[in-house]
Amino acid sequence: MPQLRLWTLLQGFSRPTSLCTHLHQRAPVDQAHTDSVNLCPVKTLDKWRYPTVEQRAKCMAGSLYVSVPEDGTVLQLLLTEMGLSDSDKPYMALRDDCLHQQRSPALELHVEGPSSGRVLWPVLVISQGSLILACLAMVDAPADPRPPLASLFSVSQGLTLLAGLQAFLCGSGSKPDREGLTSRLAMMPSILLQICPLGTPLDIPQLGASSASAMPTPAGTQKQPAWKTGVHRGRAVVNVALTEMVRSMQYGNRNRQDLWDVYGTVTCKCEVEGVLPNVTVTLTLPPNGSPLMDVLVHPCVSSLDASILTAMSVEDCDSSAFSGPYKFPFSPPLEPFRLCSYTSQVPVPPILGTYQLKDDDNQLRITVSLKLHESVRNSFEYCEAHLPFFNRDQMGSVDVKVSSGQLEVSKEKNLLVWVLGQKFPKSREVSLEGSVSFSGEHPGPTDPLCTDLTAYIKLYFRVPDLTLSGCCVDQHSVQVYSSAKPRIVTSRELLSSEYFIWNSTGTAPVSSGHMML
């Protein structure tokens, strides 16, 4: 992400009309001419340094790192590079030599003289009237050779930020009026905190923004915390999304126990007004639902029932464990965040399957059956079964039939894709049978694990508006303590994750991850 190491705002008093002659001067002139272009002093109106970005620049540059000098030195170097300093001297090599090429708006500041090789670059400068805005962009590339200016995202972001600040400070006119400039300068700390937190340009200030709309509006005596870079303005919306992921390792073998587990996350995006608005999200379970285990919460959660955190999946499940409702009061950050995560013990996986392979003279005979459990709603956004074959020649003939859905064949990848679609048939059972020969001229993909008859099916599916645990977020249970009544949007979904069915006639690996029996 593009970042800035430094930015500064300068103002010159009564900039002379003949300054352009002095700026383009590249040879000594007589003293009489320079007397006519005397420049009055320049003062610094505002400046910001970002130590975290500076530390990152130091780590990236290594021995080529050039530190940013003191403010006075930076001011002098910048004015010299722009031709606005030492106007009483008819000639300065650093400023007026013909070999010096000023590449506006990205300037070079020679920290210890032109011959030292210690240069701050790129220093971006925009001026309008008596105002000069400048920033030092962070370069996320090796310093030698110097990358093209157009390839640096931080340069475009820095120029956009300076142009936005320039338009904000100058208002509707080409030159800022004294009263308007004073009031807007007073708003700069909060403006920069919102649009460039920690040196990362995210936005530009709104044109014509008034003091009331640009400044954070405190609620009573509340103080804006350092971790919250701004406040939301506009329509209030609270979005809560509950996602459950199910993993499974099914072997089709009586000597090996099938494994599966479920883990869920609750993600929130709260666009509500106020410095520290209070929001409460409540998770509920059905009457016969298993308690949520291994609950972890975001640091913004202000309080929590201790019994929620004590239920652990590594311990024996206690029937008297806390089973909800699970209330999470919090003051949300501006960006989307994970409110909490949990695991849940469910009695069966959503799809049960068996997979059998028989090797017959460089030909595999395949038998697959899948069954959707009755507790799972028969409505998928998508459902696919992938059958890869490793450590063999490329596929030759494929003679495979499916009882439902469509079969796609990728001979280059040695892959069968069984597209089951959005619904299982009424019986909730589907099957695949046939044979595949491997007579291609080139070898197929390899895998050190899947040798001989060690093979698997991997399922990919998504079921909207469903969770295996039965956990849900009711719209009416979301409470928001704010000046405006927000629109509440809730959703839930079930996704597959590492969902494997192994060939029962071959060897199969044992899962090392924690799964529930």
Q: What pLDDT is stored for residue 15 in this prediction?
A: 35
Q: Are 194 and 203 in contact (CB under 8 A)?
A: yes
Question: Is residue 363 situated within a structural domain?
Answer: yes
Specify whether 453 is located in the same domain as 480: no
Question: Is residue 512 situated within a structural domain?
Answer: no
Q: What pLDDT is stored for residue 48 in this prediction?
A: 85
Residue 28 has pLDDT above 60, yes or no: no
What would the pLDDT profile of 103-149 be if each residue is shown by its tens digit? Answer: 667 888 888 776 677 889 899 999 887 889 999 999 888 777 888 88
Q: What pLDDT is stored for residue 415 in this prediction?
A: 96
Cα 67 to chain center, whole Å? Answer: 29
Specify whether 80 is located in the same domain as 115: yes
Q: Which residues pair with 265 in a beta bridge?
A: 243, 341
Its domain, for residue 457, covers 351-465
Q: Using 50, 70 and 90 to split pLDDT, how confident is the model at 394?
A: very high
Between CA 296 and CA 48 the distance in angstroms is: 37
Between CA 92 and CA 80 the distance in angstroms is: 9
Specify whether 142 is located in the same domain as 78: yes
Would you tell me how many other CB atoms lie within 10 Å of the CB of residue 395? 22
Q: What pLDDT is stored for residue 14 in this prediction?
A: 38
Mean pLDDT, residues 62-88: 84
Specify whether 174 is located in the same domain as 51: yes
Specify whether 49 is located in the same domain as 178: yes
Mean pLDDT, residues 93-107: 70
Specify whether 153 is located in the same domain as 278: no
What would the pLDDT profile of 323-364 be if each residue is shown by its tens digit? Answer: 778 999 999 988 899 999 999 999 999 999 999 999 987 789
Mean pLDDT, residues 43-48: 84
* Of 466 and 154, the one with more pLDDT: 466
Specify whether 482 is located in the same domain as 406: no
Would you tell me how many other CB atoms lie within 10 Å of the CB of residue 186? 12
Mean pLDDT, residues 76-88: 80
CA distances to 135, 226, 239, 432 from 220, in Å: 36, 18, 26, 67
Residue 515 has pLDDT above 60, yes or no: no
How many domains is the chain partitioned into structurally? Answer: 3
Mean pLDDT, residues 454-466: 96
Q: Which of 6-20, 157-171, 427-441 has the lowest mean pLDDT?
A: 6-20
Q: What pLDDT is stored for residue 297 in this prediction?
A: 92
Question: Is residue 372 situated within a structural domain?
Answer: yes
Question: Is residue 148 situated within a structural domain?
Answer: yes
Cα 464 to chain center, whole Å? Answer: 24
Question: Is residue 113 situated within a structural domain?
Answer: yes
Q: 3-class DSSP state for residue 375? A: coil
Residue 443 has pLDDT above 50, yes or no: yes
Q: What pLDDT is stored for residue 463 in this prediction?
A: 97
Angle at 145 between CA 4 and CA 104, to 5 degrees: 50
Between CA 112 and CA 388 the distance in angstroms is: 63
Residue 17 has pLDDT above 60, yes or no: no
Where is 239: in which H helix or E strand?
A: strand 237-250
Specify whether 305 is located in the same domain as 366: no
Q: What pLDDT is stored for residue 318 in this prediction?
A: 56
Specify whether 304 is located in the same domain as 166: no
Domain end position, chosen among 172, 199, 226: 199
Would you tell me how many other CB atoms lie within 10 Å of the CB of residue 132? 24
Domain of 366: which CATH number?
2.60.40.1170
What is the overall mean pLDDT for the chain?
82
Specify whether 92 is located in the same domain as 186: yes
Q: What pLDDT is stored for residue 304 in this prediction?
A: 85
Q: 3-class DSSP state for residue 404? A: coil
What would the pLDDT profile of 250-277 be if each residue is shown by its tens digit? Answer: 999 888 899 999 999 999 999 888 778 8
Judge if pTM exceeds 0.75.
no
Specify whether 241 is located in the same domain as 172: no
* Of 218 and 153, the one with more pLDDT: 153
Q: Using 50, 70 and 90 to split pLDDT, how confident is the model at 176?
A: low
Q: What pLDDT is stored for residue 425 in this prediction?
A: 96
Mean pLDDT, residues 84-95: 70
Mean pLDDT, residues 298-326: 76
Question: Is residue 218 situated within a structural domain?
Answer: no
Mean pLDDT, residues 465-491: 90
Question: Is residue 511 situated within a structural domain?
Answer: no
Specify whether 275 is located in the same domain as 311: yes
Mean pLDDT, residues 411-435: 96
E-assigned strand segments in 292-381: 293-297, 326-330, 337-344, 351-359, 363-372
Question: Is residue 380 situated within a structural domain?
Answer: yes
Q: 3-class DSSP state for residue 433? A: strand
Residue 31 has pLDDT above 50, yes or no: no
Residue 34 has pLDDT above 60, yes or no: no
